[in-house]
Amino acid sequence: MFLLKKIISFFLSPFQTGLMLCLVGLVLIWFFRKKEKLGRVLLTIGVLWLCFFGLDPVAHFLMASLEDPYRPVKPYVVDDAHPSPEYIVVLAAGHQRDPQHPVTGALKFPALQRLAEGIRQHRQFPETKLILAGGLLSHGKKECEFANRWDF
């Protein structure tokens, strides 16, 4: 079941689908002379697929239905109806381990964005606890261990 899920999720990404169309097309062109025409068609469809889904307006249109319900938080007003938050949780978003790079080089861009927003909110509400989610182990270190090297 796990393998089936991975295979299906692989082909749900427009980039991987376009890449596979191109690769299958190239294999047909190079190794199967009788299927060369089909290979050209698949290669052409794959390249057009990548070009189409690589356009910013198309990507923004497809992502809008996923992102629109979760707009950025408006400035939080503390009053009787809305008490001060107790915790701020920053979710993992990927990192790479390279001892030669500082923390800002190890965390991927989405992780840095999340961490910066978490720190901003923590400074707005100094009484809160900032919790950094760790993500999966990668090269022996969790992402939160990288981010915890910063002093807030």
| Domain range list for the chain | 2-68, 73-147
Residues whose CB falls within 8 Å of the CB of residue 36, separated by 6 or more in sequence, listed in order: 28, 29
How far apart are the C-alpha atoms of 13 and 25, rounded to whole Å?
A: 18
Q: pLDDT digits over 43-93, tens only? A: 999 999 999 988 989 888 988 888 888 776 667 677 777 788 889 988 877
pLDDT at 152 over 60: no
pLDDT tens for 108-145 read 778 888 888 889 889 988 899 998 887 654 555 565 55
The 10s digit of each residue's pLDDT in 34-44 is 999 999 999 99
Which pairs with CB-CB distance under 8 Å and at least 24 residues apart come from 100-109?
103/146, 103/147, 103/149, 103/150, 106/146, 107/143, 107/146, 107/147
pTM: 0.52
Look at 14 and 105; give whichever has higher pLDDT.
14
- Catalogue the E-assigned strands of the chain: 87-90, 129-132
Question: Quick one: 90 exposed, middle or buried, by C-beta within 10 A (0-12, 13-18, 19+)?
Answer: buried
At 114 the pLDDT is 86
pLDDT given at position 25: 95
